[in-house]
Amino acid sequence: MRESQVAARTLRGSATAIAFFLIVVPILIVVVVAFSPNEYFEFPPAGFSWRWFVEFFRLANMRGAFALSVELALLAATLATVFGTLGALYLARRRGTVAALLQSLFLAPLVFPTIILGVALLLMYKTIGMPVFPGLLLAHCIVGLPYAFRTALASAQTLDPALEEAGQSLGAGPLRTLFLLTLPLIWQGVLSGWLFAFIVSFGELNTALFLTGPGLTTLPIEIFSYLQFQGSQLVIAAASTLQIALIVILVATIERVVGLGRIIRAR
């Protein structure tokens, strides 16, 4: 092997090692410290204990934030999946300018700076007098929509149109065709879209920052305000670890149900 090739390989290998170190270590430290028995931050911790998780569930605001985040993510992911799948079914076989425009519109929240969406929604909600919970839910739904739409679209585009035609020529109405034929064929894409929308909603910051209200705070925002106003307490590490744990469970579910490949392509 020539010298330049060895150099190139060393460069790739060391860049990868550095990148993974920088990406993984901050997350790892948070998880390790969450099991600390100490009163204050110390790394490595002096032992092992569940005390900060107990403390987390003892604090009413933390418990409430966790419950609200799960509830919001469940509802927002479901709404986004229903809406995204409808849009995907409509657009799956359409070409042309209008179809392309609609597709970019459904994907737009993915690249639009969400902080601006947050400000815009808060202003509109203030003007029309929208209550906190439905306002927050709709925002999370908009943020999750592109993920649900894109995975459903990818699945719907692989469908053979002859199947639907066969269903209809055999006398099935449009609704029967949808529920007995189309949805059973694309459910994997729809489900992975739902899981993605759930994950995005569960970690959402930029719109929730503006739209959460007194007594109605999501877990990421609760963690943020704790860090900002009460300093780095270890209960935050426990809260963060619970956030991570839920994501791990979801990713494992996706891998079990639809396989790894689909997750990568869903991005």
Partner 1 sequence: MRTPWASVLLVPPLAMILLFFVAPVLYLFWVSLHEASSSELYGAALTVQNYVGVLGDSFYLAIIRRTLGVAAVILGLCVLIGYPVAYFVALQPPRRRMLVLLLLLFPLMVSNVVRAYGWVAILGRRGVLNTSLGSLGLIDGPLDLLYTIPAVVVGLMTILLPYMVISIANTLATLDRSYEEAAQALGASPFRTFLHVTLPLSTPGVASGTLLVLLLTLSAYVTITLLGGPRSKLLVSMIYDGVTAFQWPHAAALAFILLALALALTALILSVLRPGRVQGTGR
- Site residues for partner 1, 226-255, by CB under 8 A, read 227-228, 232, 236-237, 240, 243-244, 247, 250-251, 255
Cα(140)–Cα(230) distance, rounded to whole angstroms?
A: 27
* Chosen residue from 24, 54, 163, 257 binding partner 1 by CB under 8 A: 24
Near partner 1 in 87-126, by CB under 8 A: 87, 89-90, 92-93, 102, 105-106, 108-109, 111-117, 119-124, 126
Helix-helix angle 234-258:51-58, to 10 degrees: 90
Which single residue is written with the structure tokens 């605001």?
61
| Choices 23-31, 52-60, 70-78, 186-194 (CB under 8 A): range interacting with partner 1 | 23-31
Sequence-separated (6 or more) residues with CB below 8 Å from residue 213 = 132
Using an 8 Å Cβ cutoff, are 86 and 80 in contact?
no
CB of 100 to partner 1, least distance (A): 14
Q: Extract the tokens encoding 30.
A: 């948070």
What's the full length of the chain, in residues? Answer: 267
* Chosen residue from 73, 76, 136, 142 binding partner 1 by CB under 8 A: 142
CB of 231 to partner 1, least distance (A): 9
* Chosen residue from 38, 49, 188, 206 binding partner 1 by CB under 8 A: 206
Near partner 1 in 68-87, by CB under 8 A: 82-84, 86-87
Cα(30)–Cα(43) distance, rounded to whole angstroms?
A: 10
CB of 250 to partner 1, least distance (A): 8
How many other CB atoms are there within 10 angstroms of residue 27's CB atom? 12
Site size for partner 1, by CB under 8 A?
97
Q: Which CB, 138 or 216, lies closer to partner 1?
A: 138
Using an 8 Å Cβ cutoff, are 223 and 235 in contact?
no
Cα(142)–Cα(190) distance, rounded to whole angstroms?
A: 16
Q: Which CB, 28 or 166, lies closer to partner 1?
A: 28
Near partner 1 in 169-188, by CB under 8 A: 174, 178, 182
